[in-house]
Chain A
């Protein structure tokens, strides 16, 4: 079997992530492929803690910490400066949580995407504000418990469709990625490296403490999210050409398999689960149609 993932590690061991952190593993995979010629920008998120306090740092590339809502535009500024006083081939990478992307950072993100700035934007989506202690974000799925959506009033609205929003910007490349499918993630990174313009990656990143799950289940959860079609692996080129990479089969595993491993969905009734299944099937079918008409 051919090993497709670069061997060089650009994340030091000894970072401060919790056990089973999907966001930490995502960073490891991402940096392996983008490599040393990369400058990172982090807004406030778990990764502003994971990287370690001054004078430590867990990443082997330059890193700029910035305010919560500014990851995209700081990376835009970094790229503009690289074009003038640095190496224009250096990757400028914004790396943000779902809160910093779907919510407070969406304005600056939209700005950088609309200008088609030559940069990468990664959102590692753990479906809540985890840094501040598990509060809901607009990426939190309908029905989920968080500290601001208690079980008697769980999240009432569906997860914001960030892919549709980004696709509407007609940027050259959008991909979803999963820590359970590192080869798929790596292939997409390699592909994106060759594309000039704005590259957006949506990474599914389980958070055991925030999801009330067992750290040993992180990869299982990430895998199930794909197999249940909750989080299909796909690519969108120029905002129009949809390609679904996984799952290949239209019939996915039941969402219950995924839900039952997490305390945040424990309160859901049979009907809630049925409704969720319908939502997932509908969304996936819609993607299928988009794929079909864009081929």
Chain B
């Protein structure tokens, strides 16, 4: 029987690693992720989790240790945030090129300087070109469930790539919510032991990552792109199997009242859950509003996004992140997804909530209002003290 527990997002992430029966963990503490390393250390030391925990001296080393362990065939897990994720950058590329299916939790935190610890998606979105798959959760239940789902996708022979499970600092990491826990045996049926196609094995010695000339490197990159394309159906299968076994349903995206919507807001993470309330309120007033939440940002769910947005009259994108010099990152992606489509609905880019400032239902009401008043713009700043 599955039991229910009230827990913070960081614990949901940790218990996600527990039900995934990870073999090797390597992590380094950083606010707002520290409860993950603390709880996993505790569970490893009291035997609740039968796993090696390499307590490294940096995040760069945490990722490197996970890559080495994964190359031997261990299921590996780590977690970090912001500065730690940025420090890992070189090894994030390495995990992809080495095709090591590491799963990592990243607690979204804005980047310094100035020092800050509050939520923003720029840390993980600026790693989107490394080739990691990225899942953005909007509840602690989703954080917990996404860890075994992530391993199932990462280790699939048609994917063989690392996956990041991303959650908002404080809004999820430190907020307690109800989480339905999985039965360990049932979880193992869902996610059996990792059996890599290739591994470091003294009985079958291979060299991994040797100098590769232009004659072959190109094809290896091609295969990584293909793996992302394959991942779409692998994700759908993994999530439908999850629904059959545990009753909880996840998609590549989450649609909320989009079917007949005139104006659709696109968002990720907890800002998207807040937006549901605004959509409800607008609906009560007769405004045909809808919400599209991207659960996966990589691989980018082109087909799904285009389908959902195909009949919208206006598309609004909310970004709690900034790529200085161009604007919101999700906005760029939505725009590029829609460019060759027959629906030429205007697309508005909104920036809000940087550095963890609250995005309230009122903020989102104002976003819908601005879109009525203004012509489409790439950047409309919400609540900025100019």
Could you tell me which A residues sit within 8 Å of B by CB distance? 36-39, 41, 48-49, 51-57, 59-67, 69-70, 73-78, 80-87, 90, 107-108, 110-111, 114-115, 117
Q: Do residues A84 and B74 form an inter-chain contact, with CB atoms below 8 A?
A: yes
Sample of 19 more A-B contacts, CB < 8 Å, known A54-B213, A86-B201, A108-B57: A39-B202, A51-B210, A57-B210, A62-B202, A66-B64, A67-B91, A70-B91, A73-B65, A74-B64, A76-B68, A77-B26, A80-B54, A81-B71, A81-B72, A84-B74, A85-B72, A107-B61, A108-B58, A108-B64
Residues of A within 8 A of B112 (CB): none
Which of chain A's residues have a CB closer than 8 A to the CB of B289?
none
Contacts of A110 in B (CB 8 A): 57
Residue B173 is within 8 A (CB to CB) of chain A in the complex: no
- Asked if B281 lies at the interface with its beta carbon under 8 angstroms from chain A, I say no
Chain A neighbourhood of B76, CB < 8 A: 77, 81
Find the A residue at minimum CB distance from B93: A67
Which chain A residue shows the least CB distance to B51?
Answer: A84
Assess whether A80 is in contact with B65, with CB atoms less than 8 Å apart: yes
Q: Is A48 in contact with B211, judged by CB distance below 8 angstroms? A: yes
Nearest A residue to B71, CB-CB = A64
B residues less than 8 Å from A73 (CB atoms): 54, 56, 61, 64-65, 68
B209 touching A65, Cβ below 8 Å: yes
Is there contact, CB below 8 Å, between A80 and B200? no
Closest-CB distance, B346 to chain A (whole angstroms):
45
- Contacting residues, chain B, for A70 (C-beta < 8 A): 60-61, 64, 91
A63: nearest chain-B partner, CB-CB: B207
Give the interface of B toward A (CB within 8 A): 23-24, 26, 51-52, 54-58, 60-61, 64-74, 76, 90-91, 94, 98, 200-202, 204-213, 216
Closest to A37 in B: B202
Determine the distance from Cα of A65 to Cα of B210 in the docked complex, in whole angstroms. Answer: 6
Shortest beta-carbon distance from A52 to chain B in Å: 7
Closest chain-A Cβ to B242's Cβ sits at a distance in Å of 25
Q: Which residues of B contact A48 (CB under 8 A)?
A: 210-211
For residue A85, give the distance in angstroms from its CB to the closest CB of chain B. Answer: 5
Please tell me if the beta carbons of A115 and B54 are within 8 angstroms of each other in the complex: yes
Q: Is the CB of B69 within 8 A of A61?
A: no
Interchain CB contact under 8 A, B72 and A60: no
- Residues of the A chain whose Cβ atoms lie less than 8 Å from the Cβ of B61: 70, 73, 107-108, 111
Q: How far is the CB of A147 from chain B (nearest CB, A)?
A: 22
Which of B23, B66, B209 interacts with A85 by CB under 8 Å?
B23
User: Which of B70, B202, B209 contacts A38 (CB under 8 A)?
Assistant: B202
How far does the Cβ of A120 sit from chain B's closest Cβ, in whole Å?
Answer: 14
Contact of A57 among B54, B72, B207 (CB under 8 A): B207
Residues of A within 8 A of B200 (CB): 39, 62, 64, 78
Quick check: B216 and A54 within 8 Å, CB to CB? Answer: yes
User: A41, A61, A78, A83: which contacts B205 (Cβ < 8 A)?
Assistant: A61
A67 and B74 in contact (CB under 8 A), knowing A76-B68, A81-B23, A111-B57? no
Pick from A61, A65, A78: contact of B72, CB below 8 A: A78
User: Which of chain A's residues have a CB closer than 8 A to the CB of B206?
Assistant: 57, 62-63
Q: Say which residue of B72, B73, B94, B204 sits within 8 Å of A66 (CB atoms).
A: B94
Contact indicator B205/A77 (Cβ below 8 Å)? no
Per the bound structure, the CA–CA distance linking A41 and B67 in Å amounts to 12
Q: Is A80 within 8 A of B211, CB to CB?
A: no
Distance A63 CA – B66 CA, assembled complex (angstroms): 16
The answer to whether A74 and B65 have CB atoms under 8 Å apart is yes
Docked-complex contact A76 and B208, CB < 8 angstroms: no
Q: Judge whether B24 and A66 touch: CB under 8 Å.
A: no
12 A-B pairs with C-beta separation under 8 A: A41-B68, A53-B210, A70-B60, A74-B67, A81-B24, A81-B74, A84-B52, A86-B201, A107-B58, A107-B61, A111-B57, A111-B58
